[in-house]
Structure 1
Amino acid sequence: MVKPLNSLDSISAIELQKLSNHIKQWGLELGFAQIGISDIDLQPEEAKLQQWLDNDYHGEMHYMANHGMMRARPNELHPGTQRVICARMDYLPPNAMFGTHLRDPNLAYISRYAGGRDYHKMMRNRLKKLGQKIDQQLEAWGYNPSNFRPFVDSAPILERPLAEKAGLGWTGKHSLILNQQAGSWFFLGELLIDLALPVDIPVAEQCNTCVACIKSCPTDAIVAPYTVDARRCISYLTIELQGAIPVEFRPLMGNRIYGCDDCQLVCPVNNQAPLTQESDFHTRASLSKANLVELFNWDEAQFLRLTEGSPIRRIGHKRWLRNIAVALGNAPQSDAIIAALQQRRASDEVDEMVIEHIDWALMRQQQTITTSRKTARVIKAVEKGLPRDA
């Protein structure tokens, strides 16, 4: 006769502590850089979230306003939840070449989290395996399985405040989680579970008087410490925004065609950030030192093939062209750029939204030509000793 399993309500504090230790070790074995455990009390975050939404800082990200305050109530998202197991996974690739890409306006800058494989499915699968390991241990001790559910950017949940409560780091003034040893180059994921595991202790904020991230933002999107107006953020403009990019932000975007890392690049905490141990996060050859014109010439079939399994694919070919057109408009004058813009404009793969950005880029290129000619005339006049307006 099989002995019935015991209810989780009867699990002892000693067993919960042992299980917590196991969970953190299993997390490392599964490839996570760190595991922390948080309670589910996010009530102090509700007013902050509501104010952010009331200010329309979420822009077109309407999903941020859906489900009311469920984002701050994990037990409403997954009934029975008592704890959130928070995980982080480093993603900084080797040979990130930040300076090379940002200094050369003819190259495309892609946020360093997006150069390799999409992290969502990988992390969710590993969190699921972590939950299964927990249930195996519970069964070995004679208990019923838990009721767990993994999430990686796939549900209305405030992952950063949870990660902070779980001791994974503190919230920087750019609103990202900072870890003293790992900086901010990591992904976050959560496992909601109905076990009263012992919680970890949050770490103290260490930004002090530093405001480097605020000053470095090209579009002044960090409107106050810890507050980002997404409508101004280049990551939002190049990824989340569906329609035309506001003209006022286009010159400020430079060659950033998918996301932006500026606030992380200047952060002193990131100086010693470790490289990822996951080869899937390494930058693909097709995106390494990628020339803007070459990327702009990808047809939709090439785009889908070369971004398969990548987070970039979610924006689709048209927004890909939109973003690159802006970067081409910001690049130095080039006959090759003008030819590429004109050729793409005449293709059947563009709509009115893309054409608007191509026309803007062509105008910028023409302005550069006009300015260059005027400058050349001035230089020639000066050399001849003539008035500057000669």
Structure 2
Amino acid sequence: MTTSTSERSQAAIKDEIRAEALALGFSACGFADAAAAWPNGEWLREFVEADRHGAMGWMEETLERRAHPTAMWTEAKSAVVLGVNYGPDIDPLEQLVRADRAAISVYAQGDDYHDVIKKRLKVLAGWMHRRFGQEVKVFVDTAPLMEKPLAQRAGLGWQGKHTNLVSRPFGSWLFLGSVLTTLDLPPDPAEVDHCGRCNACLDICPTQAFPAPRQLDARRCISYLTIELSGPIPAEFRSALGNRIYGCDDCLAVCPWNKFASLSSEAKLRARSALRQPALAELAGLDDAAFRALFSKNPIKRIGRDRFVRNVLYAIGNSGEAALMAVVEPLLSDPAPVVRGAAVWAARRLIGDRALSLKGAEDHPEVLAEWN
């Protein structure tokens, strides 16, 4: 079969873009039709209508813009979808063994990947604009673009039963970013589902956050509870948190496809020594300045000191280490009600009704509810 000149030139353009992307440090690059039919918008609408987005009101507010890749930019014809490998050097499930130490999601142990990837995307997009003279726009997951189904269409992987992207060469460890462009390029073959009958990611979830394969109820997800939820975490989920203080990797880490994944070579995305299972006692004592210093250029900084210490206190309550009362007791009078409430829960878990003798003057209803 012969190939037309225009098809050869389109293939050459794709080859150039792919080579440039890999040279910039991206691990994977694929191409998708940005204007093709898109059933995923309706699936997202059903997710929001079922209130499974919880307190993430921004998902409802941006629903129409998320409905289709061209909803934000009608001129877009092609999507260049990029992946960056962040495969960890240890099994994340090993972090759950020591109850006096914190388990932090793999993606949050290094520099903020949004910043790392967005810089590269901008460089790639600028090069594309200069090289081919077409318009471009850059997206990371802070923008209302559904990148996981777009990545599947571009052949980078498939959405597993845990709703995250799974890649044959990188397992569940790919950060995603996209460049939409007015370049009209032929799409790569879409990846197909390779999960088969495996339900490991569903079975391991500590809070049963998956009502069905490829369906997530964010209100039960530990990542949502520890990151997105600003108030007290519902009591029914606190024990299941264990020592997870920011995010949860269980469903990702158990995926059998990870056995083919390579270790990330990204120095900025690798775990900082201070964030490899830090001691809960040290984290509980962070004031705002120390919190900001420890998590400089790190995604955890976004949730703020109060929400973070709240998570640490729940982990302390789950530790069974009565000696940690030494760091819990001062936080019973913390200025932030969400911290005081978590400190009450931790104290009562560690020393039972003896904690009642530590009750001081309190008028915040959520904290009083913890005491009562």
TM-score (structure 1 length as normaliser): 0.86
**Matches of residues 66-77 of structure 1 in structure 2 within 5 Å?**
66-77=61-72
How far 1:276 moved relative to its partner? 1.0
CA distance in 1 between counterparts of 2:291 and 2:145 reads 32
The answer to whether the aligner puts 1:101 opposite 2:95 as a matched pair is yes
Amino acid aligned to 2:184: A
Query: Pick from 195, 199, 207: which aligns with 1:211?
Result: 199
- From the superposition, tell whether residues 294 and 39 of structure 1 become closer, same or farther in structure 2 (CA, over 3 Å): same
Contact 2:138/2:179 (CA < 8 Å) preserved in 1?
yes
Aligned residues: 350
Query: Pick from 19, 42, 49: which aligns with 1:47?
Result: 42
Amino acid aligned to 1:37: F
Amino acid aligned to 1:51: E
**Matches of residues 137-176 of structure 1 in structure 2 within 5 Å?**
137-138=131-132, 145-176=133-164
CA distance in 2 between counterparts of 1:253 and 1:265 reads 16
The answer to whether the aligner puts 1:240 opposite 2:228 as a matched pair is yes
The answer to whether the aligner puts 1:21 opposite 2:9 as a matched pair is no
2:329 maps to 342
Q: Secondary structure at the match of 1:86?
A: strand
Amino acid aligned to 2:72: L
How far 1:93 moved relative to its partner? 3.4
- From the superposition, tell whether residues 178 and 163 of structure 1 become closer, same or farther in structure 2 (CA, over 3 Å): same
How far 1:99 moved relative to its partner? 4.3
C-alpha distance after superposition, 1:318-360 (max 9, x if no partner): 001100010000002322x11110012234xx31121111101
CA distance in 2 between counterparts of 1:120 and 1:238 reads 19
C-alpha distance after superposition, 1:16-58 (max 9, x if no partner): 2211111111111011111001112252112211111111110
Contact 1:19/1:134 (CA < 8 Å) preserved in 2?
no
The answer to whether the aligner puts 1:35 opposite 2:29 as a matched pair is yes
CA distance in 2 between counterparts of 1:86 and 1:175 reads 18
1:85 maps to 80
Amino acid aligned to 2:328: L
Q: Secondary structure at the match of 1:88?
A: strand
CA distance in 1 between counterparts of 2:27 and 2:115 reads 17
Q: Secondary structure at the match of 2:245?
A: strand
C-alpha distance after superposition, 1:281-336 (max 9, x if no partner): 1111211231111111122111101100000100000001100010000002322x
1:363 maps to 348
The answer to whether the aligner puts 1:114 opposite 2:101 as a matched pair is no
1:250 maps to 238
CA distance in 1 between counterparts of 2:179 and 2:92 reads 33
Q: Secondary structure at the match of 1:65?
A: helix
How far 1:237 moved relative to its partner? 0.3
**Matches of residues 259-278 of structure 1 in structure 2 within 5 Å?**
259-278=247-266
Q: Secondary structure at the match of 1:224?
A: coil
Query: Pick from 306, 316, 325: which aligns with 2:313?
Result: 325
Amino acid aligned to 1:287: L
- From the superposition, tell whether residues 75 and 345 of structure 1 become closer, same or farther in structure 2 (CA, over 3 Å): same
The answer to whether the aligner puts 1:198 opposite 2:174 as a matched pair is no
Q: Secondary structure at the match of 1:113?
A: helix
Q: Secondary structure at the match of 1:318?
A: helix
C-alpha distance after superposition, 1:161-218 (max 9, x if no partner): 1000000011100001111111011100010101111101112211100001111000
Unpaired stretches in structure 1, ≥5 consecutive residues: 1-10, 139-144, 371-390
CA distance in 2 between counterparts of 1:97 and 1:166 reads 28
Task: Name the Cα RMSD after superposition.
Answer: 1.7
Amino acid aligned to 2:19: Q
How far 1:368 moved relative to its partner? 10
CA distance in 2 between counterparts of 1:182 and 1:194 reads 29
CA distance in 1 between counterparts of 2:134 and 2:179 reads 11
CA distance in 1 between counterparts of 2:81 and 2:37 reads 14
Query: Pick from 284, 290, 297: which aligns with 1:302?
Result: 290
Q: Secondary structure at the match of 1:69?
A: helix
Q: Secondary structure at the match of 1:280?
A: coil
Q: Secondary structure at the match of 1:79?
A: coil
Contact 1:214/1:263 (CA < 8 Å) preserved in 2?
yes
2:338 maps to 353
Amino acid aligned to 1:354: V
How far 1:369 moved relative to its partner? 9.2
2:362 maps to none
Q: Secondary structure at the match of 1:150?
A: strand
Q: Percent same amino acid among aligned pairs? A: 38
